[in-house]
Structure formats: C-alpha cells, structure tokens
Amino acid sequence: MRKSRHRFLAPMVAASALALGLTACGGDSGGTTADGGAASRPAEKIKLTVGLFSDFHFAPLYEEFKKTHPNVEIVERRAQFNDHHTNLITQLTTGAGAADVVAVEGGYIGAFTPVPDKFHNLKEYGLDSRQSEYLDWKWNLGVSNDGSSLIGLGTDVGGLAMCYRPDLFKKAGLPTDRDEVSALWPTWDAYVETGKKFVAAKVEGAKFTDGPGEHFRAMVEQAPVGFYDAQYNIVAATNPEVRKAFDTGVKMIDNGLSANLAAFSPPWNTGIAKGTFATMVCPAWKTGTIKDQKPGEGTWDIAAVPGGGGNQGGTHLVLPKQGRHPKEAAELINLLTSKESQIKLFKEASALPSLPALYDDPAVSEYVNPYFGNAPIGKIFTDAAKALKPQPVGPKAGDVLKAIGDGLQRVDQGKQNPEEAWKQALEDVGRIK
C-alpha cells in the first residue's frame, strides 16, 4: 500500500524472533482468551482493534462492515513500520497487547508462519474457501510452514514500475512520453546508460535517481532465485544474480546517477517534492507516497520498470490468538480483502489487488490516475504483476537485504570501495542464522 509501509530495507524482525522466545513449541504463551476465543453473542457490544503501520484507507470499509455488524466498534492503532512489527513479536511472546486484526508486511510474514499456534487459523472461519481467488504465491505466503493453518489473508501486492519526472527529463533532452521513456530501458544496463545521458546534460540540482538500494532489491526480486534457494537456504553469496544486482548498483554510483538518499528518509521525501532526483523504482503503493509529498499534479509520471515486471511489498492481515472476538475479526478481514474492497483501495490508495481476476476487470485494468498525468496505472501495474515469476522468500530475507543494501550505501557514501563493501556484506550475511 502506502508510505513507510514497505521499507523492506529496514531491519527485519524475523532475526529477533528466536531471541524473544517466539517459538512454535513453547505452548500458547497466553494466546487463549478468557472465553476461549469463542464467538461473541450477536447482541453483545464488542470492540475490534486493528493494528496498522500507516493509513490503509480502511475507514470507509469499516462503515460498510458496521452495516451488517451494528454491535461492533472498530478502533485503529498505528505505529511506525519497524515498531509495529517488533511490537507484534513482543506481544505474541508475552501473550498480551496484540490487536484483534494486525497487518503484516509481505517481507515480514515469514517471521510468523513458523508459529501458527500464536494465531487463529482462518480456515476455521471459512476463509480458505477464497484460495482460488488469489495469486498462488500471495496465498502461499499466508500459509503456515507446516501447511496446517492459514495465518493471514492478503490485501495488496506491489507490482513494479518506474516513476519519473517529465520536467527533468525535458531539461536533459530525454523523451517525456511514458511509452518512449519505457523504451529507453528494457534492461537495467540500458537504465544506467540513460542515466549517463541525464548526468551529461548537467540538470541543475537534480540527480538521475534517488539511490541504488531500491533498484538492487528490484533486480534481485526479478530473478528466478534471490537470497534463498528452494530449500530455504541463504544463497546470497553464491547466487550470481545477487552479485550482478550489486554491481549494477555500483555502476549507478560510479557514474554519478545517485542522489545518495535513503528511501523514506526526510531528505528523500523532500526530494520527491522538490525534484532533486528524476527517477525511482515505483511499486504500486509508492504512488501514494509520492502524492503524500504534494509535488503537484502531473509532476511525476509512470513508465515500465527495466527487466520486465516484478513485485515489491504487499500486506497480509492476521488474527493473533489473544483476540477475544475471532469470528467478527475474521469477518472483518473477509470484507477488507473482498473483490469490491480491493477495487476501492486500488482507486483510493493505489493498492494493487491480490486477486488476478481483477486485473481484467475494467475498474482496475482501465483505471487512469490524473495525478500522474493520466497514467494508465491499472495496465502498468497489472502487467507487472502478471509478469512476476515468484521466487523462494525465506524468513530472514529482510536481514540479508539490509546487509547488502548497507554495503551499497557505504559505497555511495564513499566509506568503502565496492570490493570491501561486498566482502563485509557477505560477512554480515554469514552471521544471519
């Protein structure tokens, strides 16, 4: 979805799960409730808490839910992205404090699927009947490792594109039409070559892109195998696609393409509004991030991503076992992830649906966004999602990504040369257990 919700370069909480005692063999850890988790009586006034890490634009959907559940009050609790996921581990470990419904970012869901005893099984509330609606890989991310439990139901996915500033492209003497821009970079090498032309034009106050980190992630996630192999072993050190993506990031730095800005940092937000960089990797939800910075309608446009397709981010909704009203909470999840709701959230928050049937629904496929120069974001992002070839994603992929991303950042900041940074990154990855 939006904003800081998808900062996958942030430290992933999976690495601290074992340290906090979050293991499947340790019993329920307070997960059962005083009423045993039984469904509430229809007339009973109940409160459902929903734990989120930004504005998911659920408020109108809550009102829809209340039409059929007039006895239910819904209260949102929001925390910063990292705090939200770290808090959930602590809450599950101590057996107290978790919301009834909790959003888990797609890069973090692997930290929780090994411990199905900490969550209500959505199969018990009939939500497994919706499996055929979902992208297979998105559905499988929400299934427990042992296959016994449905931990979470997906909201959105992050079909990839490339956002760019037509005004800066014009100053650099580059095409501004989105189809012509897409044609500039069928590959990542071509993207770098385009960046060299931008640099040569010496556009005052602007770099070609924000930084190499998000590009590195996109390249790795486009590969058949990323940080993990099919047996869920970390293979970052031996997978040539990872080193190739790292080296391409270094090329961006060495050729002066990078503005050396970390995604979602205050300077990065300012750069979106002020035009200090001309391109950035742009999953569907990031268009909402751009709009939040108020750069002005038509300031940014959207082209295809180099390499063809891909996904970045996306969320699942889960039910911690501490919840006292799992029946109503499961019914709320069902509504929030329904076809109708996913269409509404796509139009309101650029949350690309997890339901592939909607990719051919005119309400999605023909949708254009006036804020981005009437870009046909329905076609752009659904084409990207259709082109995705899922890869194995292990529970500590975020830690691996951060370790190597930090290496690129050290190169970008002039603190290490590429070989030193790569060596240290692999040493850091080797400590991830």
pLDDT band at 43 (very low <50, low <70, confident <90, very high): low
Q: Are 302 and 380 in contact (CB under 8 A)?
A: yes
What contacts 381, CB < 8 A, 6 or more positions away? 159, 160, 161, 284, 350, 352
Q: What is the pLDDT at residue 1? A: 43
pLDDT, one tens digit per residue, over 298-330 is 999 999 999 987 888 789 999 999 999 999 999
Highest mean pLDDT, choosing among 10-14, 42-46, 121-125: 121-125
H or E element in which residue 216 lies? helix 213-222
Q: Each residue of 212-247: pLDDT tens digit?
A: 999 999 999 899 899 999 888 999 999 999 999 999
| Rounded Cα–Cα distance for residues 180 and 38 (Å) | 58
pLDDT in tens, 388-401: 777 887 778 878 99
- Name 73's bridge partners: 47
Phi, psi of 96 (to 5 degrees): -150, 150
Sign of CA dihedral 344, 349, 352, 354: negative
**Cα distance between residue 319 and residue 103, in whole Å:** 9
Name the nearest CA neighbour of 215 among 274, 265, 283. Answer: 283
Q: What domains lie within the chain, and their CATH numbers?
A: 3-158+313-365 (3.40.190.10), 162-311+375-430 (3.40.190.10)
Q: How confident is residue 17, by pLDDT bands cut at 50, 70 and 90?
A: very low
Top-confidence residue, 313 or 337: 337
Largest CA distance in the chain: 70
Strands (E), 138-263: 152-159, 162-164, 207-209
Question: Any bridge partners for residue 314, and if so which?
Answer: 157
Angle of CA points 146, 150, 154, to nearest 5°: 125
What are the DSSP calls for 161-196, one per residue? -EEE-HHHHHHTT---SHHHHHHH-SSHHHHHHHHH
